Amino acid sequence: MMNYTVGPGAEHRVRNMRRKTDMKAALVIMAAGLGSRYGGNKQVDGVGPGGEILMEYSIHDAIRAGFTKIVFIIKNDMQDLMRSLCGDRIAGLTARDGEPVEVCYAVQDYSSLPAFYTVPAGRSKPFGTTHAVLCARPYVQEPFCVINADDYYGVDAFKTIYAELSKLAESGEGTMVGYDLCNTVSEHGTVTRGVCHVNEQGMLDRVVETFHLKPCDDGKIRDIQENGDGPVYAPETPVSMNFWGLTPRILEEIWDKFPGFLEENLKTNPEKCEFYLPTVVNNQLLDHRADVRVLPCMESWYGVTYKEDLPNVKAAIGRLKQEGKYPERLWD
């Protein structure tokens, strides 16, 4: 039997070999939403037994999957709060590649707008999910995943999208995790979802932002119109929950397209217009400049759209802990 001695520098070489197998990837968390229907900052309510907020479970799952950077997109007055809630604690963690987890804070405000644009006097909110991602542009140089702060996506979903990110070409490719519509609606009111049209090869043809989806007494899910009726959707209809896997190239596309959006919408809806990330993806698909693979997810999605949703989310997290998916206290 031959004996092998680990000489000087060997441990360093082993660490480097391990790091090369792990891709650098960023998790971009959209946490600047005002939560107008909820009645407060829904992203910062505790749902775990140790007071953990919902996005901490996504961060925990992402770091376990291999993500190495966390970018919080927040309002300016939330930075100290976010640091105290979870940011400073996460900055002390180690990623799977052995390096410290990098934590960044991107403020979603009007400073990221083109110089020609003057904010209307009556405008108080940012310009939607595309604007949010644009604000992360200075901090993202690697493949990245975008999520909502107030959604729970599931352990395996992060493993799946991390693996898919490593396959994306630098130009023209993306991916997303799709959830069954029936698992994403609320019994407490209507929700907005990106209804996905997926071809037989599992590629996204288009995504349609649908604004008034609600489960009805007859067991069907409808896009409720003013007359109380509307299109019916099958329970298993795939929808986007803003769980996108992208490359930095799309940030340049957003930067190029954003001025045109502002110029057009200044004329029609200056105080409330929003630029949605699915719109950017749709435009790329229509112009045949991108291919987006839809990754089906069998896990349950949980989210807080209304205050009344919070007890159900807390109960779901409790069940996941009992099943052994999470420790009693998340960061112990």
List pLDDT tens digits, range 95-141. Answer: 999 999 999 999 999 888 888 788 888 888 889 999 999 999 999 99
| Calpha distance 59→102 (Å, rounded) | 12
User: CATH no. for residue 152?
Assistant: 3.90.550.10
Asked whether residue 36 carries a pLDDT value surpassing 60, the answer given is no
244 within some domain: yes
Q: Are the C-beta atoms of 283 and 206 separated by less than 8 Å?
A: no
199 within some domain: no
Q: 10 Å Cβ neighbour count for 162? A: 23
66 within some domain: yes
| Mean pLDDT across 283-301 | 90
Q: Are the C-beta atoms of 47 and 36 separated by less than 8 Å?
A: no
| Calpha distance 149→59 (Å, rounded) | 10
DSSP letter string, 49-86: TT--BHHHHHHHHHHHHT--EEEEEE-GGGHHHHIIII
201 within some domain: no
* Sign of the alpha-carbon torsion through 223, 224, 226, 227: positive
Name which of 1-15, 269-283, 303-317 the model is least confident about.
1-15
| Calpha distance 199→322 (Å, rounded) | 38
Instruction: Quote the pLDDT of residue 113.
Output: 85
Q: Which two tokens stand for residue 310?
A: 């919070």
182 within some domain: no
294 within some domain: no
Name which of 67-71, 109-113, 156-160, 237-241 the model is least confident about.
109-113
Domain with 135, as residue range(s), is 23-171+238-286+307-322
How many structural domains is the chain composed of? 1
Instruction: Quote the pLDDT of residue 316.
Output: 94
Name which of 164-173, 301-310, 323-332 the model is least confident about.
164-173
Q: Which of 31, 238, 255 has the alpha carbon at shortest distance from 148?
A: 31
229 within some domain: no
7 within some domain: no
Residue 234 vs residues 161, 215, 237, 241: alpha-carbon distances, Å = 25, 11, 5, 17
CA dihedral 146, 152, 153, 155 (to 10 degrees): 120
